[in-house]
Structure 1
Amino acid sequence: MKICEMNWLQVEEYLKTDDRAVVPLGCTEQHAYLSLSVDSILAERVALEAAAPTGVPVFPVQAYGITPYFMAYPGTVSLKADTYLRIITDILDSLKRTGFRRILFVNGHGGNTPGQTAAIEWMGQNPDCRVRFHNWWNAPRTFEKVKEIDPVASHASWMENFPWTRLPGIEQPTHQKPMVDLERMRTFDPEGVREILQEGNFGGYFQRSDDEMNAIWSVAIDETRALIEKW
């Protein structure tokens, strides 16, 4: 269920028998030739498809995250870490206040991981609640499927190139890009990062077959759904 397709009366009725909620976390940042909203699109879609048969409501995606390293790429929006942690705790405070007690964050952006620490700290102050932080793309089964198909994969490469993250009329390069030295890249400012990355792909092919992408997606949905059901 999408919260955007429910009214408050329906949510109140749901809370009489269940207290679970799913909150997708994304980002707005460069993804080479793919949409700037890749992380948000994927986090929200995997959350919705995973939760669909369970009846657990899915909130709208939090579409801005922590991504200071890409600020030399137009269209990127980065929140300060302290701002982001306050957003996470404000979301949790609001959900608890209205009756939710088990919350699954489905995260689609690596830079958002400080939010997991905020959630753990919040649980320490709210022992009657349970929060789980799920990085859907590198969860054990999903990432194993990625490596099975092609171990050379990372940000803005083929592993994020789904039919729903591509842009119409945009051709993808056909070569396999060598992996960037991530440790070296992290020592540069945003302008240096852009100089190193160029179009933005960390390394790997820019696109693989839809059959391979659907195989990954199927595993991701099953793995995420299992977390929702285990509550």
Structure 2
Amino acid sequence: MKISEMNWFQVEQYLKSDDRAVVPLGCTEQHAYLSLSVDSILAERVATEAAEPLGVPVFPVVGYGITPYFMAYPGTVSLKADTYLRMLTDILDSLRRTGFRRILFVNGHGGNTPGHTAAIEWMGQNPDCRVKFHNWWNAPKTFEKVKQIDPVASHASWMENFPWTRLPNIAQPDHQKPMVDLDRMRTFGPEGVREILGDGNFGGRYQRSDEDMNAIWSVAIDETRALIESW
């Protein structure tokens, strides 16, 4: 159940019998021909679908993250790392203050992973709470399913191309893009990254069948749900 579809009376009643919460973490950044909100869309959707049968509330997705390398692509928004980590600890402080004690961050953006360290530090100051940080897309079972379907998968490639991240009337290229040299790319600033990447896909096909994507999604939902249940 989404917090956006609850009032505070309902949350207070929920907290009498449970103290779990899910917070999706996304980003606003270039994803080639896909939505700039791919990471936010996927994190929120996998969190909501995983938590729904368990009755655990899901908070609105945090739609901005750490992505300085894509700042040469219009529409990208990047937070400074210290801003982002303060924001996450403020969220945790608020959840603890109102009664939540077990929080799962469902993260959809690799640049946000410093948040995991912030969560560990926060638990050191709040030993009555537990926090899990879950990168849903590269969790063991989900990423294994991706590799079974096609090992050439990366940022803005087919592995992020779901029916709900595509844009209407935007055609996807029908070829497999060579993988970029990531080590070389990481030595450049935003303008150099754009020159190397071009459209933004790191490498791989741009789209695969909905059957393939639904197979990955099913594994991701089950893997995320298992984390919520395993408290």
Same fold (TM > 0.5): yes
Deviations 1:191-217 (A, max 9, x none): 000000000000000000000000000
Mapping of residues 104-143 of structure 1, within 5 Å: 104-143=104-143
Q: What is the CA-CA distance between 1:120 and the residue it aligns to?
A: 0.2
Tell me the SS of whatever aligns to 1:84.
helix
C-alpha separation between the residues in 2 aligned to 1:131 and 1:47? 15
Q: What is the CA-CA distance between 1:37 and the residue it aligns to?
A: 0.1
User: How big is the alpha-carbon RMSD for the aligned residues of Structure 1 and Structure 2?
Assistant: 0.2
What letter corresponds to residue 35 of structure 1 in structure 2?
Answer: S
1:17 aligns with 2:17: yes
Partner of 1:159: 159
Deviations 1:70-115 (A, max 9, x none): 0000000000000000000000000000000000000000000000
Partner of 2:42: 42
Q: What is the CA-CA distance between 1:130 and the residue it aligns to?
A: 0.1
C-alpha separation between the residues in 2 aligned to 1:83 and 1:125? 19
C-alpha separation between the residues in 1 aligned to 2:118 and 2:179? 31
Give unmatched runs, 5+ long, in structure 2: none
Partner of 1:97: 97
Deviations 1:165-215 (A, max 9, x none): 000000000010010010110000100000000000000000000000000
1:229 aligns with 2:229: yes
Tell me the SS of whatever aligns to 1:179.
coil
Tell me the SS of whatever aligns to 2:128.
coil
Mapping of residues 151-190 of structure 1, within 5 Å: 151-190=151-190
Partner of 1:193: 193
What letter corresponds to residue 82 of structure 2 in structure 1?
Answer: D
TM-score by length of 2: 1.00
C-alpha separation between the residues in 2 aligned to 1:181 and 1:5? 44
| Runs of 4+ residues over 6 Å off in structure 1 | none
1:61 aligns with 2:45: no
What letter corresponds to residue 143 of structure 2 in structure 1?
Answer: F
Identity rate, percent: 88
Q: What is the CA-CA distance between 1:121 and the residue it aligns to?
A: 0.1
Partner of 1:6: 6
Q: What is the CA-CA distance between 1:62 and the residue it aligns to?
A: 0.1
Partner of 1:214: 214
What letter corresponds to residue 95 of structure 1 in structure 2?
Answer: L
What letter corresponds to residue 5 of structure 2 in structure 1?
Answer: E
C-alpha separation between the residues in 2 aligned to 1:88 and 1:184? 31
Number of residues of Structure 1 aligned to a counterpart in Structure 2: 231
Q: What is the CA-CA distance between 1:225 and the residue it aligns to?
A: 0.2
Partner of 2:85: 85
C-alpha separation between the residues in 1 aligned to 2:210 and 2:50? 20
Deviations 1:107-151 (A, max 9, x none): 000000000000000000000000000000000000000000000
Q: What is the CA-CA distance between 1:39 and the residue it aligns to?
A: 0.0
TM-score by length of 1: 1.00
C-alpha separation between the residues in 2 aligned to 1:112 and 1:81? 9
